[in-house]
């Protein structure tokens, strides 16, 4: 009884630690447009055009071309109970990720049958700074994707464990939800189904193989039909692809795999997005700098161990000297390789969240490899090193949260801007991307227009005569007293729209009147509100 209590606590306490770490300074950085692209629909469709991509029978099914309305539907009751705020937006995804971590532990324990190894992996994931920071703001989005990935793997493992066909009934549903949530989940779905074939051919008897192959085949067919159906309903859903014949393309993709792999591993990939953290920031104190520099090449060590042990496993399996744990290891390796191949050929897969599809499988494989190559004592040491490394990297993020000015697209000053414009009557034209959803959802008023886009959804900055188009769509036949323009003044914002706006003013004989400026805590100008008057 006592042993069971300690075992449960050893699992629950790390997951609770993750919840605490992910919830620190919950209102920093500010809400970002992509983070809450689902929220307009959840709040009752304040605007009928902002992130409402496709309706079927009057029901919105897609918020943008490749992201379905699953998260929007989930958040309808959440916003009704808790309102729209940092807590209601971020805490649900943190809680879902805590469940995902529990599922990871269960899946690893089933596959390798080594509770201590499963615990090592859990501790590494609980303290993994990229996972913590990405799910708390759920850019990508990745939280639901991560949950569906691990749950679908656990379904297959549970079947292999108890041979109950009823376990497999849920597999197509979970994969379908993953694809509906975001179309690139199809990378994982394909990888899982094909890797499962490898697993069952190495583990199961001929009769059991036949049963599972039928199930996997039917599931693949179902996912394929679903994928095609979604694309037919919502043309443009599938990103353009490239086979990779161009040498420059191949070189760029290889560089991205390394850059994002290392960036995900040490946290810098996402830190740099949210807080523009440079290498110098990791030296915010001498201890942090020392730890970061000491373990700077830890990712490269991980990658080397992964490659070496994978080659050894293939050799062992060919000689039939493997155990079941090795076969499960090869299953995870197969998922990594299948996903990587699909990321490689999809030309637009160039962001951190695309490459995060490879996790936590890489971490699982590396810890298993170290355990098998070096034994329990070295695994303990390895786990301690990784936890120290992770927590040090996360401490840099905490330092940034409390001391640094965020990337302007994550600015907390968006709250002040929303509060200022909320009581004002009239129409507000945004001159750049990065404000729309926050202002819409915070004020719950449909008075904001995206001036950087035409009514057809084209980028204004790339038109032949943008000043004239801007005038026709946003000023012609409108009362100037009811018209405001919000300019994103950050150096990171695209200056093209401000230039177009100023040229239009000169051509049409207007004068720009400043209504209010908004500044970051470091006195950097971030937003300006203007009105126009006849010259």
Q: What is the pLDDT of residue 11?
A: 95
Q: What is the DSSP string of 478-524?
A: --GGGEEEEEE--TTS-THHHHHHHHHHHHHTEEEEEEEEEE-TTS-
Mean pLDDT, residues 316-327 taken together: 84
Mean of the pLDDT values across residues 287-312?
Answer: 91
In tens, the pLDDT along 18-49 reads 999 999 999 989 999 999 999 999 999 999 88
Q: Give me the pLDDT at residue 276, please.
A: 63
pLDDT value of position 370: 96
Assess whether pLDDT exceeds 80 at residue 269: no
Q: What is the pLDDT of residues 333-390, one digit of tens each?
A: 999 999 999 999 888 888 888 999 999 999 999 999 999 999 999 999 999 999 999 9
Beta strand 483-488 with 427-430 is parallel
State the distance between the two ends of the chain, measured CA to CA, in whole angstroms. 83
Kindly report the backbone phi and psi dihedral angles of residue 198, in degrees, each rounded to the nearest multiple of 5, phi listed first.
-60, -45
pLDDT at 526 over 60: yes
Q: What is the pLDDT of residue 244?
A: 54
How does pLDDT run across 185-199, given as a tens digit for each residue? 999 999 999 999 888
pLDDT of residue 240: 43
267's CB contacts (< 8 A; 6+ apart) are 128, 129, 130, 133, 390, 393, 394, 396, 397
Q: Are 504 and 452 in contact (CB under 8 A)?
A: no
Can you spell out the DSSP letters for 37-64?
TTHHHHTT-SSSSTT--EEETTEEEEEE
Q: Mean pLDDT, the chain, as a whole number? A: 89
> Does pTM top 0.75 for this prediction?
yes
* 426-440 per-position pLDDT tens digit: 999 999 888 989 999
Whether 3 shows a pLDDT value over 80: the answer reads no
Radius of gyration of the chain (CA): 25
What are the tens digits of pLDDT across the range 219-254?
A: 888 888 888 887 777 665 554 444 556 788 888 888
pLDDT band at 280 (very low <50, low <70, confident <90, very high): low
Lowest mean per-residue pLDDT among 264-273, 401-410, 483-492: 264-273
Q: What is the pLDDT of residues 137-186, one digit of tens each?
A: 998 899 999 999 999 999 999 988 888 878 888 999 999 999 999 989 99
CA distance linking residue 102 with residue 117, whole number of Å: 14
Q: Which of 270, 258, 520, 484 is nearest to 405 (CA)?
A: 520
User: What proportion of the chain, given as a percentage, has pLDDT over 70?
Assistant: 94
Paired with 198 in beta bridges are none
What is the distance of C-alpha 143 from the center of its chain? Answer: 7
The partner residues of 514 in beta bridges, in order of sequence, read 530
Please give the pLDDT value at position 323.
Answer: 84
Decide: 277 and 396 in contact? Cβ < 8 Å.
Answer: yes
Distance of CA 239 to CAs 66, 221, 226, 327, Å?
A: 8, 21, 16, 33
Q: How far apart are CA 480 and CA 511, in angstroms?
A: 11
Check pLDDT > 60 for residue 103. yes
């Amino acid at each position: 009884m006592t042993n069971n209590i300690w075992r449960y606590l050893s699992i629950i306490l790390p997951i609770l630690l993750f919840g605490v770490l992910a919830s620190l300074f919950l209102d920093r950085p500010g809400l970002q447009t992509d983070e809450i692209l689902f929220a307009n629909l959840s709040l009752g469709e304040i605007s009928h055009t902002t992130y409402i991509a496709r309706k079927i029978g009057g029901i919105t099914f897609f918020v943008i071309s490749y992201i379905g309305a699953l998260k929007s539907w989930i958040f309808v009751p959440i916003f009704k109970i808790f309102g729209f705020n940092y807590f209601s937006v971020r805490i649900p995804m943190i809680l879902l990720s805590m469940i995902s971590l529990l599922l990871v532990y269960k899946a690893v324990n089933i596959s390798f049958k080594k509770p201590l190894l499963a615990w090592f992996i859990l501790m590494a994931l609980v303290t993994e700074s990229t996972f913590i920071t990405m799910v708390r703001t759920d850019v990508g989005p990745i939280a639901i994707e991560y949950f569906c990935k691990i749950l679908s793997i656990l379904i297959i493992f549970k079947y292999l464990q108890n041979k109950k066909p009823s376990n497999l009934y849920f597999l197509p549903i979970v994969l379908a939800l993953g694809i509906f949530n975001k179309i690139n989940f199809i990378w994982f779905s394909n990888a899982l189904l094909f890797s499962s074939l490898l697993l069952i051919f190495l583990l199961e008897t001929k009769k059991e193989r036949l049963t599972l192959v039928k199930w996997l085949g039917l599931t693949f067919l179902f996912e394929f039909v679903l994928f095609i159906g979604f694309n037919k309903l919502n043309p443009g859903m599938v990103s353009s692809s490239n086979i990779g014949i161009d040498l420059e393309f191949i070189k760029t993709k290889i560089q991205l795999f390394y850059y994002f792999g290392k960036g995900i591993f040490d946290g810098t990939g996402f830190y740099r997005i949210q807080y523009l953290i440079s290498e110098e920031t990791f030296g915010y104190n001498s201890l942090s700098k020392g730890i970061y520099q000491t373990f700077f090449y830890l990712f490269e060590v991980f990658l080397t161990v992964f490659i070496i042990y994978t080659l050894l496993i293939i050799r062992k399996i060919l000689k039939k000297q493997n155990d079941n744990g090795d076969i499960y290891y090869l299953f995870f390796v197969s998922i990594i390789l299948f996903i990587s191949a699909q990321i490689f050929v999809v030309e637009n897969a160039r962001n951190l969240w695309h490459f995060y599809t490879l996790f936590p499988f890489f971490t699982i494989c590396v810890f298993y490899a170290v355990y098998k190559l070096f034994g329990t004592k070295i695994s303990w040491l390895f786990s301690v090193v990784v936890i120290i490394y992770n927590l040090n990297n996360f401490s840099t993020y905490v330092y940034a949260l409390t001391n640094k000015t965020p990337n302007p697209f994550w600015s907390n000053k968006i709250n002040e801007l929303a509060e200022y414009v909320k009581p004002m009557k009239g129409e507000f034209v945004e001159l750049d991307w990065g404000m729309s959803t926050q202002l819409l959802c915070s004020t719950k008023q449909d008075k904001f227009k995206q001036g950087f886009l035409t009514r057809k959804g084209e980028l204004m900055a790339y038109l032949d005569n943008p000043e004239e188009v801007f005038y026709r769509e946003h000023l012609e036949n409108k009362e100037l007293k009811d018209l405001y323009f919000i300019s994103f003044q950050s150096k990171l914002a695209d200056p093209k729209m401000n230039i177009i706006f100023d040229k239009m003013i000169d051509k049409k004989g207007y004068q720009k009147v400043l209504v209010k400026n908004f500044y970051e805590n470091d006195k950097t100008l971030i937003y300006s509100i203007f009105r126009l008057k006849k010259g």
